[in-house]
Each structure stands twice: as C-alpha cells, then as structure tokens.
Amino acid sequence: MAIEIHAKKDFISGVVELPISKSLCNRALVLQANSRNKISIKTVSKANDTVVLINALKSTCEILNTEDAGTAMRFLTAYYAFSNRSIEIHGSQRMEERPIKALVDALKEIGAFISYLKNDGFPPLKIHAAHQPTKNELTINASISSQFITALLLSIPFHIKNFVLNLEGQISSKPYIDMTLGLLSKIGIESEWQSNSIRITQKEIKPAELQLETDWSAASYFYALTALSLKGQIQLRGLKPDSLQGDAVLAQMFEGHFGVNTVFNAFGACISKSANHALPAKLAIDFNHCPDLAQTMVVLCASLGVELKATGLKSLRIKETDRIQALETELVKFGITTNSTADSLKIKGKINADVGPIKINTYQDHRMAMAFSIIGFIRPVIIENEQVVQKSFPSYFQEFKKVIQ
C-alpha cells in the first residue's frame, strides 16, 4: 500500500495526539515483569514494538518471535538470561543481520548460557537455563548500541543488589541510558555514574504507578513541518520540559536553527514559527546522542536547501535498515548531492517544488516513512508501505493530515 501526500497551503495549525514513548514504555514493561507486577503503567504504547514485547513477556512458549523489534530482542535476551528457563528468541530477516554479540558476551561474562542458532554474533539465540549471575561486575562495549546497556540495567539489578557496569569505548546514545536510570530511580533502584562506569544499588523495589510521557521522537516530524511553513502553530499533547527522553533536545535545536519556538502549557508543548528567522546556509550536527532525529533533520535540511554535515551516525547502519544508505538513495531522486562515510552523511542542494509525485521506498523503516512525509508539504510524494509506521506511531498519517489540510 502507498499514500500520496501534497499539502495545499503554506501554513499549519492543529492539535496533535502524540503516541506514548515506546522507548519509555518498553523499559517500563520489563521492569514491571521483573518486579512481578509491583509496578503498574497508567497508559501503554500502542506501537507494534510494544505489542510484540507484551506478547513475548506473557508467552509460555519455548520459542519467541520479536519480529523487527530491536528493543524486544535485546531486552528479552537479558530478561531471560537468568530466568532458569530455556528459550529461543527469533526475529525478522533484518533482525538476523543486526549484531548482538556485545550483549551476549557481557551476559556470558557473568554466568549466562547463550548460544547462536545461525550466525555467530547475530540472532536467533538459544538461552539455556541459568540460575544467578556468578559475579557483580562486568564490562561491555558501549559504542554499538545503548540498548545493550539498557537491557542489562533493566534486569541484572533484580538478580544482584549491588552491581557495577563498566562501559568501554565511546558511549552511544547516552541520553537513552540516562532515561533507563531515571526509570530505575522511580522504583527504588539507585545509580551513580563514576567516569565510564555505572554503579547500581537496590535496597527494596518500591511499588509505583508510572505515568509515561508522549514521544519526543514522534514530535520531530511536526517540528519539521512547522519549520517548512510560512506560519503556523501546533499543540503537541503530553510533552514535558523536564523529560527523561534525550530527544527533547530537538526543542532547542529547532529554535536555534529554524526559528521554531516551544512554549509548554498544561496540555504539552505549543510550537510556532518565528516570522523573521534567518536560515543558516550550512549546519554541522553530531547525532551520537540523538540518532532518531537524524533522518528528520537530513530531510528537513534538503527541503530547505541547508547544507548539512551529520555525524555520529554509526548506529544508523544497524537499524531497521541501513539508514544512511536509504537516505542517500531516496534523496538522489530529488537531485540532492550526498556523500557518506561509516558514521556520517553530507548533503547539498534543495528539493524543488515540482508538481509530479516521487515515490519513496521506506525499506520497512518507520522513520524513513515519517521523515520523508514532510516533503509532501512542499511537493507531492508517494510514501510506499505507509503502514510501517505501526512500529512506533500507528496514527501518524491521520495526525499528519490534521495539521496540513
């Protein structure tokens, strides 16, 4: 299936119902399972990744399928490592290409029994019954994915009350680790950063009802639409200024670079376009700590004609698709010049407001679909396989149409 988008006005307005953050929700669900339901969650995300995780946590089967949900694969690996239960964890074809060796090696270091069912270092996995961890300190490569670190932090403290996690290499997406630690503190698990180590102390799990925020990553597409508009105002429900989410940095980024102002109120964040903001000719942005914003920013800069050098993109190579390659392939269709390395992307040029629609391949990647949809505000585009947004924001295109029509 595909959807054609072409806005017919140069201003936007409306109220957007953002989804609950699946990053927060998936973390909370693992904590809930580990606490044996001492923790309740007020509103659960409807994202497919969350549905997959919920079904896996409830399952009594010996074989689990995480589909294309990266958090489910990583979080469940650590969750079942010391469950004294033998289980297989499978995923989609793309999941079998996404590395998991760093997490598996760390779990083995403290006594887990895990083997690879196909290729070494990649899912699917066989987790063999194990009792308690054999040591209270381990080391992990922190440069590949913060989800490996979060997986350990969500489960190991329930088996070891005093635990030290040493992080080697450049830490990727540190705000996502801080998000995890923030949730842990709400239930009585304290943490302390000591250089590149995290020391965890658990006294007693506190019963808690977690009220989760809406998703700042999802908000980025509406910030981008506002940046493209001549004028406009959008109310984004549920966003908080004191967010646990690292992607909340986008409010500052969009105000400084694109003149999109954010005012928080009782309902969330109200964003609007400054009338006289001058666009930069060039930008250089490091996305190491906010990789989920990279695609939005790349497509926005191409739409505005802002030359961009995006760095810190290493993790994009191992997401739902190779996001750097996918961005280059689709931007070339619009005449944008690109140049990439293993962890960077440079773009130059401006997308023209032509009349003919261009088809966008989404590569089974929800963020490709949402990022490229914003081009529809300046020229027609056809987003193929638009249902891929079910992964994180099922109602995305309904909300999108509300503010552009």
Q: Is 380 helix (H, G, I), strand (E, B) or coil?
A: coil
Q: Which of 49, 68, 215, 292 is catalytic?
A: 292
Instruction: Evaluate whether 77 touches 66 at the Cβ level (below 8 Å).
Output: no
Strand order from edge to edge, sheet including 307-311:
282-286, 307-311, 344-348, 337-340
Instruction: Evaluate whether 349 touches 302 at the Cβ level (below 8 Å).
Output: yes
Beta strand residue intervals within 6-90, DSSP E? 11-16, 39-41, 63-65, 87-90
Instruction: Evaluate whether 391 touches 68 at the Cβ level (below 8 Å).
Output: yes
Element (H, E) at 164: strand 162-168
Residues 6+ apart with CB under 8 A from 173: 145, 146, 246, 288, 289, 290, 291, 315
b/e 271-308 (16+ beta carbons within 10 angstroms → b): bbbeeeeeeeeebebebbbbbbbbbbbbbbbbbbebbb
For 393, the token pair is 């924001």
Task: Confirm whether 292 is a catalytic residue.
Answer: yes
Which residue, 321, 51, 314, 29, is CA-closest to 151?
Answer: 29
Q: Is 174 helix (H, G, I), strand (E, B) or coil?
A: helix
Beta strand residue intervals within 303-357, DSSP E? 307-311, 337-340, 344-348
Element (H, E) at 250: helix 250-258
Beta strand residue intervals within 195-281, DSSP E? 197-202, 208-210, 231-237, 260-265, 268-273
Active site residues: 292
